[in-house]
Amino acid sequence: DTAVSQTPKYLVTQMGNDKSIKCEQNLGHDTMYWYKQDSKKFLKIMFSYNNKELIINETVPNRFSPKSPDKAHLNLHINSLELGDSAVYFCASSQVNEKLFFGSGTQLSVL
Amino acid sequence: SQQGEEDPQALSIQEGENATMNCSYKTSINNLQWYRQNSGRGLVHLILIRSNEREKHSGRLRVTLDTSKKSSSLLITASRAADTASYFCATASNTDKLIFGTGTRLQVFP
């Protein structure tokens, strides 16, 4: 009964391709997030959705487009992948200002 | 911008010793949280301390918060090899985002 599940766990792709990462939570939380963790383990928020509405959009290239079909799902689509996009992407969910529950991460490698 | 900075960046201790990690932040907060990340895994929430609290305990974990100094510390007592992980502080302000610190890598030797 995984609380926050994201797929795939590993994603290896060529530069210029388009890829998606899916995330689902079964905790009934209103808020979902995408975080990016770089090779130095620095964790930075990318997006946040509250009940399907975008509420946080950090300085992220518009090649990254989140989509929330319902409050239990938040997917991340990335167009025209670049080498610098290689990182681990984490989905998370929470109630506002409460603790986050993280998925196990998607390690993206762009070749 | 990065809200929290942690110190030390890396810490190596023997089993049974205590480990202390510090976190400093810049702006006013609603709460501060600590997370653990084992290698290759997602982050796991450890403890949350609200801005009107000064100390909180959970098992072998003790967290303090000094809002006047904008700092927090995490103490792990009687450490075990299984405590080996990276530890992150994260601050929640009046927005909906949780901003993470730079992390402390803890290595506990058996």
B53-93 residue pLDDT tens: 999 999 999 999 999 999 999 999 999 999 999 999 999 88
* Cβ(A65)–Cβ(A90) below 8 Å: no
Cα B28 to Cα B100: distance, rounded to the nearest angstrom: 14
- Distance from the Cα of A100 to chain B's closest Cα (Å) equals 7
pLDDT beyond 60 at B1: no
**Backbone phi and psi for residue B55, each to the nearest 5 degrees, phi listed first:** -155, 145
Residue closest to A92 by CA, chosen among A81, A107, A102: A102
Task: State residue A78's pLDDT score.
Answer: 96
Please give the residue of chain A at the shortest CA–CA distance from B43: A102
Q: Which of A60-64, A107-111, B15-19 has the lowest mean pLDDT?
A: A60-64
pLDDT at A28 over 70: yes
Give residue B96's identity as a one-letter amino acid code.
Answer: D
For residues B3 and A31, the model is more confident at A31
* Residue A93 near residue A32, CB atoms below 8 Å: yes
The side-by-side arrangement of strands in the sheet containing B61-66 is: B5-7, B19-24, B71-76, B61-66, B55-58
Shortest Cα–Cα distance, A81 to chain B (Å): 23
User: Looking at the partner chain, which of A42, A56, A105 has a beta carbon nearest the beta carbon of B96?
Assistant: A56
- Residue B34 — very low, low, confident or very high, per pLDDT cuts 50/70/90? very high
At A4, is the pLDDT very low, low, confident or very high (cuts 50, 70, 90)?
very high
- CA dist., res. B47 & res. A93, Å (int): 16
